Structures are given as C-alpha cells and as structure tokens.
Amino acid sequence: MKNKVVCCISCLLLLIAAAGCGTAKPPAPTEQGAIKITDDLNKTIVLKQPAKRIISLYSAHTENLLALGLEAEIIGVSTTETDPAVKNKPVFDYRADPEKVLAAQPDLVIIRPFIKQSHPDFVKILEQANIKVVCLYPEKFEEFDSYIQKLAVLTGREQQANDNLAAFHTKLSQVAEHTAKVTTKKQVYFEATATEYRTITPDSMPGTVLKLAGGLNAASDAQALKAASSIAAYGSERLLMKADTIDVFLAQRGSMNPGVTPENIKQRPGFDKIKAVRENKVYIVDEKLVSSPTFRLAEGVEQLAKLIYPEAY
C-alpha cells in the first residue's frame, strides 16, 4: 500500500512538472551580430556584416556614403539627388508604395527622422519584412562626427571616416587661424528664408557654421519656430531696428530659399537702411554648404569666413 502511495505521488509530481514545462515561455532570442549601433530614434541596429546593398533616402546620407567610398554599395537613392555619381542609380520614394524597396532586397535602408514622422507606415512595412532601417540625422554641428562614425560602422569604413574627419577638422582649424587675425568681429544677419524674413537659431547647423567662420549672429535673440527647429521668424521690423549694426547680410539659396539674389534683397522695402546693403556687403551662399550635414560644411565655414573677413585671406 505504501509503495502505491509513493508511486501515485511521484506520478503527480511528474504531471505537474510536465504542465509547468508546457506553460513556461522560452527565453527571447537575442539578435546576434558583429555590428551594433543605436540610431537617432534610440533603436538598436544589428548587422552580421557591413552593409553591401544600401538604399539612401536622404541626399546628405548619400553624399557622405560616397565620401566613404561606397558608390558600388549604394543600390538606390532618394528623389532629390543631384550628385552625378548616382545619376544612374534606381530612385526610391518614401511617399510611394514600399513594394519597390522590398523588391530591391537591400540589407540597409538609411532614413532621417522626418521620414519616420511623416510616413510611419512606409517604415513599418520595411521593418516587418525584416529589412534593417536606420534613422540618422545630426541636429547640431557637434553631433556630426558621431553621425559619420555610425555610418562608417554600419558599412565597415571606419578608417576612411577617420581620415575624412581628420581632414575636415584640419580645414576648420585653418579657417580659425585666419579669423584669429581679425581684431574687430562683424555682425552678420543670416537669412534662412525670405518668408517672414526668417533667420537661423544660434545653435543650429548654419548658426554654428557662422560662428566657426568668426561671424557674430546679428539675430542672436531669434527664437525657434518650434522645438528642435533651426529656423526662427524674425520679421522686417526687428531686422530693420538693427539696420545700422549689420555689417554683412548673408542669404542661403536652395530648396528652402529659392531664387534669392543680392539684387532682390537690396530692393526690399526699407532695406536701403541696412548698413550691409549700403556698403554692398550682401552675399548668397549655397544652402548645401551651411545647412546640410556633410563634409562640405568645412567648405561652407571657409566660404563664409572669406566673405565676412576678406582682409584675413
């Protein structure tokens, strides 16, 4: 009888153990890979090897990938590309059906936050198809190095990135040597767009480019239109109140401010009162050189320094 009781208890314990095994959740699989970064949406991106089939959906990403020697690895670009090196590459549009991207079978798609915010379903479909989507965009100048290094890690081009960044900072140092000769700094108004005479915030990408060029931001009291924006509404009234102190008037020309010229700036009502206009110190700069996060920012700093302080060169 005792043996039967022991046997029943043993069987019961085995049944409980078996039931427990059936309901226990297995440990979540951990994605393995030699390459790992955290993107600007705080998402961890893991690759087993450097990306070889890349679709870039932002022209600055494309330009930086080309600078890292990755022309062959780029299998697709955005609709806004102008670089001749990618003119024959397939074009992809995040506003269109993602099926074209899926069919291309990329191992990496590089976007910027705007795409995720404006077309989340496009990104979601790619991720559901197990396509790696990395979101990168340096909001501030000081984030540029880290951004380039992340691109380099994802593509296995760390040494090229280090070399390019070294040359980038050497150029900035050379500009600083020239502007250090200047004893009196000049007040510079920087026009972002002609609409409402919008200018740049001091800590924005172009704001830092201006600072590195040795210019003093005449609109340093400008407030961003919205959080994390580099654009600030200034208005003609505030601008003209500083007319006598503005030594140089700069305006960027590009998608944000198309068609602007020194002539149409000078013809604006009341602008003849601005010191820079009276002294013919009104200049146009390429938006790509001062607002786009590429290695050409160093070229933009040098160009602005030469416009503001020609006597130092």
Query: Predicted confidence band at 196 (pLDDT cuts at 50, 70, 90)?
Result: confident
Q: Is residue 166 a contact partner of residue 300, using CB atoms and an 8 Å limit? A: no
Query: Predicted confidence band at 4 (pLDDT cuts at 50, 70, 90)?
Result: very low
Nearest to 236 by CA among 270, 202, 277: 270
Q: Where are the domains of the chain?
A: 35-156, 181-312
Same fold, 35-156 and 181-312: yes
pLDDT given at position 136: 98
Q: What is the pLDDT of residues 226-263, one digit of tens each?
A: 766 788 889 999 999 999 999 999 999 999 999 999 99
Give this prediction's pTM: 0.86
Nearest to 156 by CA among 293, 34, 11: 34
Overall CATH class of domain 181-312 = alpha beta
Cβ neighbours, 10 Å, residue 100? 14
Which helix (H) or strand (E) is 75 found in, with range? strand 74-76
DSSP 297-313: HHHHHHHHHHHH-GGG-
**Phi, then psi, of 108 in degrees rounded to 5:** -160, 130
Q: Characterize the bridge pairing of strands 216-217 and 35-38.
A: unpaired
The whole-angstrom separation of Cα 284 and Cα 265 is 10
The whole-angstrom separation of Cα 226 and Cα 282 is 28
- What is the topology classification, in CATH, of domain 35-156? Rossmann fold (3.40.50)
